[in-house]
Amino acid sequence: MNTTASTTTTNTSAAADERSKAARQAITPELRRWIIEQAQAGHPPPVVLQSMRDAGWDEDVATDALEITLQEHLNELAVQQGQPSGVPVPEPLLDESPARVDCGDRVVDVLLAMAQPRVVVFGNLLAPEECDALMAAAEPRMARSLTVATKTGGEEINADRTSDGMFFQRAETELIERIEQRIARLLNWPIENGEGLQVLHYRPGAEYKPHYDYFDPAEPGTATILRRGGQRVGTLVMYLNTPEKGGGTTFPDVHVEVAPQRGNAVFFSYDRPHAATRTLHGGAPVIAGEKWIATKWLREREFK
């Protein structure tokens, strides 16, 4: 059971919506208190779920009621500790651990799913010809990568990011629009909430030092940046080629490194702009060969 990423999830399936509505109705103050007491006593969610089933609860409703209650409780604790409160995030529909997800025009493989931080690795998201076409379209427009300057809300060269890059407009070409529609289906997130695709090219030795993709609320430029679609709440890094050595996407908090394989992608989400999301991540130095990626950042609201 995933107790970390579920209530902050936008789930477009009507059946899942019905289930969650039934669960919400079932959460009386007494039940809420009891579930929190069980958690505080150290009983893991599967044990609490079994007690509920023994008491006659339907498994699906009990699972949802448990997830909702624990997530809300964690959220309250986080806010009490001064963290920003959580917001809905993109989330692939991975109920019952499917091996593949149908994204309309393409079936994508699920290779790894981690709850905290929320990280999902997909296989075969892009066809080889799509990777080639993206690199070819991007190449003539590449320049030293800029990042958003949180001091001012503008853009600046960043010494931590030694790649070249460019941004496409959303739906700039038929290919880009098709990929954006696929991503929207995969992650259950409105196409309008996505920034334009960014393509990056790393040469040997180039890297992107560990960072968070959300905008730091303490920085003076952040208010300006957030006017355009709110916070970033998710990232999808798509690998357009396979470097010979190095170039993995790293998550230092959890000692995970995703191998960059052409056509595959790594997705991660963050429901608040805070280190508690454990989404510190970086692009490890390319040791041999080169590395091309396309990144889609997802905002809370429409990105105009």
Q: How many chain residues interact with ligand PD2 (CB under 6 A)? A: 10
Site membership for ligand PD2, residue 281 (CB under 6 A): yes
| Complete DSSP assignment for 225-251 | HHTTTS-EEEEEEEESS--SEE--EEE
Query: Closest CB to ligand PD2 among 166 and 237?
Result: 237
Query: Closest CB to Zn ion among 32 and 211?
Result: 211
Least distance in angstroms from the C-beta of 44 to ligand PD2: 33
Only segment of 79-87, 97-105, 116-124, 280-288 that touches ligand PD2 (CB under 6 A) = 280-288
Least distance in angstroms from the C-beta of 227 to ligand PD2: 21
Least distance in angstroms from the C-beta of 225 to ligand PD2: 15
Nearest to 262 by CA among 123, 93, 121, 106: 123
d(CA 113, CA 228): 30
Residue that has been written with the tokens 């999902």 in this structure? 120
Least distance in angstroms from the C-beta of 150 to ligand PD2: 14
Q: Between residue 285 and residue 304, which ones bind ligand PD2 under the rule CB under 6 A?
A: 293, 295
Residue 249 interacts with, from Zn ion, ligand PD2, none (CB under 5-8 Å by kind): ligand PD2
Site membership for Zn ion, residue 213 (CB under 5 A): yes
- The burial of 205, by beta-carbon neighbours within 10 Å (0-12 exposed, 13-18 middle, 19 or more buried), is given as exposed
Positive or negative, the Cα torsion across 41, 46, 48, 50?
negative
Only segment of 9-17, 88-96, 187-195, 276-284 that touches ligand PD2 (CB under 6 A) = 276-284
Binds ligand PD2 by CB under 6 A, chosen from 237, 238, 240, 298: 237
Beta pairing class for 155-157 and 118-123: unpaired
Query: Closest CB to ligand PD2 among 7 and 235?
Result: 235
Site membership for ligand PD2, residue 264 (CB under 6 A): no
| Complete DSSP assignment for 246-292 | E--EEEGGGTEEE---TT-EEEEE-SSSSGGG---EEEPPEEES-EE
Structure tokens at 138: 């991007």
d(CA 126, CA 292): 13
| Residue ranges in contact with ligand PD2 by CB under 6 A | 208, 213, 235, 237, 249, 281-283, 293, 295
